[in-house]
Structure 1
Amino acid sequence: MTAPAFGSVTWFQIGSEDPAATRSFYTELFDWSFEVDTNDDTEGRYAQVTTPGASHPTGGLFDTRGEVPNHAIFYVLVEDTAKTVAAAEKRGAKVLVPPKTTPAGLVFSDLLDPQGNHFGVFTPPAA
């Protein structure tokens, strides 16, 4: 299997104030499986999603606890999150979440494109 190219959509996230109902909906509709991610700093609020036929998770479900609106967004793999965010801002994007680094070394940011569409970018931890 070849690694995805920079600029590819490689992750999605669903944010829900009712993650149990969201899990049930997508499990019944698409046979997705969910596993709580215990290796991050979200205090069990994040579950990784594996879709049928996938060999690894390709998405996540975030328990918003009502702190942010429910959402479904895609994430694009980039070589340098901070550089990409700066380039996006120059092109009219608005930064919602500035680049953040998780304890595992993943760097991500959430943005709005000039038309108001929510999307994210991320750089995986160094190998």
Structure 2
Amino acid sequence: MKIDKPAPGAPCWVELASSDPAASKAFYTELFGWRAEVDPRPEAGGYTTLLLGEDAVAGLSPQYREGQPTAWSVSFATADADATAAAVRAAGGSLLMEPTEVLDIGRFAVAADPSGAAFSIWQARLFNGVALLNEPGSLGWVELATRDTHGAKEFYSRVFGWSVTVGEMYTQWGLAGRDFGGMMDMADQFPADVPPYWMPYFAVADVDSTAERSVGLGASVTLPPTDVPDGPRLAVLHDPHGARFGIHVADQAS
């Protein structure tokens, strides 16, 4: 990830909604060396910030609706959540949650692109988002998996002004020449009932040992450690409750 701090249009936060927050906290703190701080305010609903040292790197929340899967979500920064929400609608997307205030820390909305892939938008006030990027144990990349790559290029470029770099095997998203994510064509690689989704990759010092350690903690490996041509070594995992996430070697995502 060439983005080194949250910026308008760039990834600024990742959050896990878990069916068992205590178990998820135990898994990720052990895997990445994170520590957890629970917001004590009753109105925060038990929201937990996950930190690496003193740096916020991710969020953890209970599930807020029945039937909600345990899954990671990705948020993108905006200077104006309401204007971005309007841009989502104008580009053919939908709002799953209208812009709303989050205590005194910011304003956010939950949206979906035309294919149904969900993401959040975040207008910071007291909280900007991740305080560390692409260091071992922090967010290093975000990836969209979709069956409509053409539509996604049009939608996200229109809403966020992203640049699109199309390679032979992979498409990358960026802002002003600084790439931060990519897009994978689901095509025939996924069962028809798997919906489009956004997924975070966390940077690690060693992909192989981290993948092995995750299995020992109850995770499963979807994509074993792999060297990507002209890219980093990476792996894709499911945590013990089914949430999908990736890992890659720090400082090698391009």
Per-residue CA deviations over 1:38-65 (Å, capped at 9, x if unaligned) read xxxxxx24111013xx652010011222
Correspondence for 1:63: 185
- The gaps in structure 2 that reach 5 residues or longer are 5-131
Q: 2: CA distance between counterparts of 1:59 and 1:76?
A: 12
Per-residue CA deviations over 1:48-93 (Å, capped at 9, x if unaligned) read 1013xx6520100112223224331000010100000011111111
Check the 8 A contact 1:45/1:63 in 2, yes or no. no
Q: Compare relative contact order (CA 8 Å, sep 6+) and give the higher one, 1 or 2.
A: 1
TM-score (norm. length: structure 2): 0.43
Correspondence for 1:48: 172
SS in 1 for 2:179: coil
Percent identity between matched residues is 28
Correspondence for 1:122: 248
Matching of residue 96 in structure 1 with residue 222 in structure 2: yes
Displacement after TM superposition at 1:28 (Å): 1.5
Q: CA RMSD in A?
A: 2.1
Q: 1: CA distance between counterparts of 2:169 and 2:143?
A: 12
Matching of residue 107 in structure 1 with residue 233 in structure 2: yes
SS in 2 for 1:85: helix
Q: 1: CA distance between counterparts of 2:197 and 2:229?
A: 24
Matching of residue 26 in structure 1 with residue 156 in structure 2: yes
Displacement after TM superposition at 1:16 (Å): 1.2
TM-score (norm. length: structure 1): 0.81
Correspondence for 2:138: 8
Q: 2: CA distance between counterparts of 1:102 and 1:89?
A: 22
Check the 8 A contact 2:143/2:200 in 1, yes or no. yes
Q: Which of residues 62, 72, 75 in structure 1 aligns to 2:198?
A: 72
Displacement after TM superposition at 1:115 (Å): 1.4
Residue-pair matches, total:
117
Displacement after TM superposition at 1:3 (Å): 7.6
